[in-house]
A and B are shown apart, each in its own frame.
Chain A
Amino acid sequence: MEALAGLTYYTIAISVVILGIIVIAVAYIIIRFRKKSGEEGEPYQDFGSLKLEITWTLIPVAIVAVLFLLTCSTMRAVDPPSADREPDIIIIGHQWWWEIVYPESGVITANEVHLPAGRQLLARLESIDVIHDFWVPELGRKIDLVPGHPNYMWIVAGEPGVYLGACAEFCGAQHANMRIRVIAQTEEEFSEWLTRQARIPETPSTGIAAEGAKIFQEIACMNCHTIAGTPAAARVGPSLTYLATRDTIGAGVLTNTPDNIAKWLKNPAKYKPGSLMPNMKLTDEQVNAIVAYLEALDE
Chain B
Amino acid sequence: MSSRIPIVPESTEPLPGLGENTGLLSWVASIDHKQIGIMYLIGTLIYFVIGGLEALMIRTQLAKPGSELLSPEMYNQLFTMHGTTMIFFVVMPFLIGVGVYLVPLMIGARDMAFPRLNALSFWLFAFGGVLLYYSFFTQSGAPDVGWFAYAPLSEKPFSLNNGPTYWALGLLVSGIGSLISGLNNVVTILTMRTPGMTMRRLPLFVWMMLVTSFLLVFVIPIITSAFVMLLLDRLLGATFFTPAFGGSAILWQHFFWGFGHPEVYILVLPAFGIVSEVIPVFSRKPIYGYEFVAGSTVAIGLLSLGVWAHHMFAVGLGNVANAYFSLASMLIAIPTGIKVLNWVSTMWGGRINFAVPMLFATAFIIEFVVGGLSGVAIASVPIDWVVTDSYFIVAHFHYTIFGGSLFAIFAGVYYWFPKFTGRMMSETLGKWHFWLTVVGFNMTFFIQHFLGVMGMPRRTYTYHDMPYWGSMNLISTIGAFIIALSVLVFIWNIIVSLRKGEPAGDNPWKAWTLEWATTSPPPVYNFKLVPPVRGRRPLWDLAHPDSPDEPDAKIVTEGPNG
Contacts and interface: CB of A to CB of B under 8 A. Distances in A.
Interface of A: 3-4, 7-8, 11-12, 15, 18-19, 22-23, 25-26, 29-30, 33-35, 39, 42-50, 52-53, 56-57, 60-61, 64, 67-68, 70-72, 74-76, 78-79, 95, 129-131, 133, 135, 137-138, 140-144, 146-149, 151-152, 164-177, 179, 252, 273-274
A224 to B, nearest CB: 17
Nearest to A148: B243
B383 to A, nearest CB: 6
Contact of B322 (A22, A33, A75): A75
A33 B353 CA distance: 9
A129 B244 CA distance: 9
Identify the 5 closest CB pairs spanning chains A and B, nearest first.
A148-B243, A176-B460, A137-B455, A141-B385, A48-B289
A7 B380 contact: yes
Given A11-B383, A148-B248, A175-B460, A53 B338 contact: yes
A48 B236 CA distance: 59
A147 B153 CA distance: 11
Interface stretch (B47-55, B200-208, B362-370, B414-422): B362-370
B329 to A, nearest CB: 10
B322 to A, nearest CB: 7
A143 B319 CA distance: 13
Interface stretch (B98-106, B209-217, B279-287): B279-287
A171 B152 CA distance: 9
A253 to B, nearest CB: 10
Nearest to A52: B345
Interface size class of B (residues with CB under 8 A): 35 or more
Tell me whether chain A's interface is mostly helix, strand or loop, or mixed: mixed
Contact of B323 (A67, A72, A170): A72
Interface string B237-277: 00000011000111000000000000000000000000000
Contacts of B547: 45
Interface string B373-385: 1101100111101
Contacts of B184: none
A277 to B, nearest CB: 15
Given A43-B285, A48-B345, A133-B314, 8 more contacts: A26-B365, A48-B342, A60-B337, A64-B334, A75-B319, A137-B386, A142-B386, A148-B243
B10 interface: no
A286 B439 CA distance: 57
A140 B338 contact: no
Contacts of B556: 47-50, 53
A170 B347 contact: no
A47 B559 contact: yes
Contact of A147 (B145, B249, B460): B249
A43 B351 contact: yes
Given A140-B386, A142-B386, A79 B319 contact: yes
A142 B388 contact: yes
Contacts of B232: none
A138 to B, nearest CB: 8
